[in-house]
Structure 1
């Protein structure tokens, strides 16, 4: 009998789909988000986690390189392949090079999130020698005036562009992205031009949430729900993603499970202080890796969280716009302190998005 599951007899999308189903069924911790620091050399008004760049207290509480090495050993042994280094600004760590090279030698596919302002020729050389899967650079504006109003640091716009150039001179895979705010929304077209000038992909995200410590400052810079939905319609990448979501979710029904994503099933997050959570937006459900082993958290503690049933009385559960909503226990927790609460901003966007994609002839408006 022929073996139709042989990878050579599957096309690539089918192979990946089959692989991911197996990974999720077996709960392999395949993908990790490792926040190396919450400190940052910029002071972005919209950031959900940034801490002072020179704070000795915060720096001293961060995981040591040797501690991280041990975690990477455990993660690799359990089957983790995709590894994201993020922050804060991960390049601020004095031992970044040691941590990065260790991860590469372990065989991880490493993605790096950075503002690129700290990229030096020496660091770019290191990335050339040990190529990351990708460096994703956040661009906060198309002019120094707007960029630095977002980032809070004079001269940072030029440093960002210089850093991007250093990466590209070494053929390091790079992409650009931005968070859309009331400050930079009018420069989106020009940011796209900058990306095109570099020959780079560009994506955007208009959804800002509260700080992890409960601060609401980022929310002050949110675009309106109408503006957010307009971007969903006019930006091809976002439009295609929602159309695909509509197609694959035709027969979707609300599940009883607490989470409907891969958090705790095939992915996890670790903050700078060694706390492991299902998702970086769920710090209240984190477990200290300084107290428990990685395996104990993944095998014993996470399943207990995942087994929690969704509150059947929650307003969101039977909402007819749920397929168009970005809300989840993480968002709810960060915004309201409760994991099953309505986030009014997302709720308004969801209904407007549903109306736009289901009722209005939006195709005539796309670019």
Structure 2
């Protein structure tokens, strides 16, 4: 059976995707600490977005800027500033750290930042496309081991990387990086999102993960790139709701094997049991974002989650302690729509406040794309049950 760690499980618990990269795989004791932090609204995990620039140009990217665009907006924070930020985060109770971008390895002082944060006692994970990991970088990680390197996989061939990421050598670079990291016993996880440009590689990407015995978290749902100023026709870069549902269905079959029939029946029973529930209004995000985790963007601004757009909190103006308090208050007062909490698809849906904002333009909005995707998924389950 394929070694898949499905993103549906992660989103089902309503934990933001990037923040989950910090907390996924923690021990029982660490999980207890995270639960206690959430109960007390204290920060225990943070993401540092070192820069928005990337050495690839993926069609669906939600954040990527060119170096020119980035420099027109402001400047990257240097190693001393990031380490000082890390110390302030530690002072507030942060234990887990995720370094991301853009492509974080592009930061000219990445090694200094990484080493400095580890010296503070932080448990560090890294998000990367892995194309910049050569023998020198692999040796650096071997001497300074991260908790895990999360690699975004975009296809199973150089042709797919060229078409999707504008990098005709991307797959070769990623495979070489994986070999280098595995040879040094560095823990790796693969993430991939199915798009119209790589769906033909879906089975091969899973086989690739199995070949190297690496946990893989595929997903067929992709957020709109709502942090981009010019969105364009973003639906052209993601699957239709039916295609996304069918890809999820196929992935579930691969993951569950002979157990899929029982899973399908249980899922349909749950959907039926939730029909005709009365709408309720809830406040807060319903996840760890802004509750026990936060995100600091490349300009030193705090937000609850990197998938959100809009207002941020200036750390340089308010400081870490006050910024966290302001974020807590903002998150706890956020009103969500009254449909999602009692929707019959709640337990299979990817919905979170970020997806509501991205899909509908507001936290109170209803993400119709996800509604349609879930409906199509239900139809596929019914068809499967009727067939067997």
TM-score by length of 1: 0.84
Aligned pair in 2 of structure 1 residues 363, 281: CA closer, same or farther (>3 Å)?
A: farther
Point out the more displaced range, 122-131 or 325-334: 325-334
Q: Deviations over 1:260-299 (max 9, x none)?
A: 1111111111111111001112231310112111110112
1:182 aligns with 2:196: yes
Aligned to 1:293: 319
1:61 aligns with 2:75: yes
Q: Is the 8 A contact 2:60 2:234 kept in 1?
A: yes
Aligned to 2:327: 302
Q: Is the 8 A contact 1:139 1:147 kept in 2?
A: no
Aligned length: 350
TM-aligned CA deviation for residue 322 of structure 1:
3.6
Aligned pair in 2 of structure 1 residues 263, 248: CA closer, same or farther (>3 Å)?
A: farther
Rounded Cα–Cα distance in structure 2 between residues aligned with 1:196 and 1:94:
34
Aligned to 1:328: 352
Q: Is the 8 A contact 2:336 2:363 kept in 1?
A: no
Rounded Cα–Cα distance in structure 2 between residues aligned with 1:135 and 1:208:
21
TM-aligned CA deviation for residue 58 of structure 1:
5.2
TM-aligned CA deviation for residue 131 of structure 1:
0.5
Q: Is the 8 A contact 1:148 1:157 kept in 2?
A: no
Q: Is the 8 A contact 2:283 2:332 kept in 1?
A: yes
Structure 2 runs not aligned, ≥5 long: 1-25
Q: Match of 1:34, SS?
A: strand
Aligned to 1:168: 182
Q: Match of 2:46, SS?
A: strand
Q: Match of 2:333, SS?
A: coil
Aligned to 1:256: 282
TM-aligned CA deviation for residue 354 of structure 1:
4.6
Q: Match of 2:294, SS?
A: strand
Q: Match of 1:276, SS?
A: strand
Q: Is the 8 A contact 2:300 2:315 kept in 1?
A: yes
Q: Is the 8 A contact 1:181 1:206 kept in 2?
A: yes
Rounded Cα–Cα distance in structure 2 between residues aligned with 1:355 and 1:122:
50
TM-aligned CA deviation for residue 304 of structure 1:
2.1
Rounded Cα–Cα distance in structure 1 between residues aligned with 2:61 and 2:373:
21
Indicate the RMSD between aligned Cα atoms, in angstroms.
3.2
1:270 aligns with 2:296: yes
Aligned pair in 2 of structure 1 residues 233, 89: CA closer, same or farther (>3 Å)?
A: same
Aligned to 1:195: 209
TM-aligned CA deviation for residue 146 of structure 1:
1.1
Q: Deviations over 1:216-260 (max 9, x none)?
A: 4543121222232233333249779xx799799989995521311
Q: Deviations over 1:111-156 (max 9, x none)?
A: 1111111112221111101101111111211111112211112222
Aligned partner (choices 66, 73, 94) of residue 80 of structure 1: 94
Q: Match of 1:61, SS?
A: coil
1:221 aligns with 2:240: no
What aligned pairs does 1:115-130 form with structure 2 within 5 A after superposition? 115-130=129-144
Q: Match of 1:137, SS?
A: strand
TM-aligned CA deviation for residue 342 of structure 1:
2.2
Q: Deviations over 1:66-123 (max 9, x none)?
A: 2111110011122211111111100000000000011111121111111111112221
1:341 aligns with 2:365: yes
1:281 aligns with 2:296: no
Q: Is the 8 A contact 1:326 1:350 kept in 2?
A: no
TM-score by length of 2: 0.80
1:20 aligns with 2:45: no
Aligned pair in 2 of structure 1 residues 218, 361: CA closer, same or farther (>3 Å)?
A: same
Rounded Cα–Cα distance in structure 2 between residues aligned with 1:89 and 1:178:
16
Q: Is the 8 A contact 1:210 1:217 kept in 2?
A: no
Rounded Cα–Cα distance in structure 1 between residues aligned with 2:63 and 2:220:
17
Rounded Cα–Cα distance in structure 2 between residues aligned with 1:50 and 1:43:
7
TM-aligned CA deviation for residue 199 of structure 1:
2.1
TM-aligned CA deviation for residue 13 of structure 1:
7.8
Q: Is the 8 A contact 1:264 1:302 kept in 2?
A: yes
Rounded Cα–Cα distance in structure 2 between residues aligned with 1:216 and 1:209:
14
Aligned to 2:153: 139
Q: Match of 1:68, SS?
A: helix
